[in-house]
Amino acid sequence: MIQTTKSTINEASKDLLLKLLRSAGLTKVQSKIYLGKHGNSLDTYLYRNFKPNFPPSFSYFFLNAIASSRPLAKDSKSKSKKYAFVDDLKNAEKNSFHKILEKYKDLNINQKLILPCLEYHCNIHIKLSNSKFIHDEENYVKRYVDEVLPGLREEIEEFGNYQFDETNPQTKSVSEAIKITNAEILINSIKDFYVHLEILRKKHMPNFIAPNETFLLPVLNSNEKILFSKDFVKRNLNLNKYNDLVLFNVRETNMQGTINLGDMALIIKFHNIGKETAENGIYAIKLNGKICIRRLQFFALKQRIVAHIISDNKLYKDDVVDLSELVPMIYGKVVWKSNSFKEIDFLKHITEEPNLFLPKEDDFEIPLFLNKDKKEIA
């Protein structure tokens, strides 16, 4: 019985792998170049795999081979297309690789290959969580590839620095040159595969947040740092740079009603501001040696531009200064704020149902003869 079960599992696994290879138009020999460290173990997984799912490492490199047979389209007109993940992952999703995966979902491809592959992919993300390139997408992917294929890039560079000499018996052989060429192909395939994996990760593992998808924002008037989502900042604030963003904990009531006491304001720092960049809005400015939040309105006069420094809370006076005086005072512009809810009175739940646990005015007293603590005789 056990032997029959193992045989059934092996047949199902073999059937899935062979169908994927046929759909990709690959032979076992052609796929070898993309299998990395599993280049010589494909037959083992085809004929001797008795486990319901494939190991994460093999799943990763095997799907890389399938994806590499359907290369991503490159747009030479746009520099941002150099890496598809920088521009738009949805474009890669139209690639026929994803159609191949969808074709075999009835063969349990999600459990057998896709999820183990994503496990391997996410482990690489976790290993790179402390990388200094975590906010540099291009270099981050380069480090990702190096983590997947350790030492391979150095091997290629070493070969490239070698001076060929036909008279030198130690000259690198043709076979070694082919090996290096294959290594370059493998590196490029992993780089493109990363794009597909990010699509699959967001589809099958929506709750996993990769380290390079978040960044820590410092709070100006505190020692704490708060984790922010890059996707949130990009989608809601249309910002792609994070180095000039800071948070500010509001500790005054000048902007009460707009930005309240205890709210957190997100500020994009300004390095310079002039006539062309001066626009009405809410800003962080330096007043009396500290950062404050105020509304600024700019007015162009004949000879100069003046700015109204406004407190939305009318208990405080406004001020008017020349733009030239204001420029050194401007720290940045407020682009978002979070509400502390401290000033909000939430409606209490009101019900007409009587509370049976509260005493009523007309409650009657228990007769003494029913009170066991008393010794009166009825």
Q: Is the pLDDT of residue 83 over 50?
A: no
Q: Is the pLDDT of residue 281 over 70?
A: yes
| pLDDT tens profile 88-101 | 455 555 668 999 99
Where exactly are the structural domains of the chain? 2-204, 216-338
Tokens standing for 30? 């052609």
In which band, very low, low, confident or very high, does the pLDDT at 76 lie, cut at 50, 70 and 90? very low
Closest CA relative to residue 10, chosen from 56, 40, 45 = 45
Fold of 216-338: Umud Fragment, subunit A (2.10.109)
In which band, very low, low, confident or very high, does the pLDDT at 81 lie, cut at 50, 70 and 90? very low
| pLDDT tens profile 284-342 | 999 988 999 999 999 988 888 899 999 999 999 999 999 889 988 999 999 999 887 65
| pLDDT tens profile 117-176 | 999 999 999 999 888 888 788 899 999 999 999 999 888 887 766 555 555 555 556 777
Measure Cα distances from 252 to 100, 249, 257, 292, 325 in Å.
59, 9, 12, 8, 24
| pLDDT tens profile 168-206 | 555 556 777 888 899 999 999 999 999 999 999 999 999
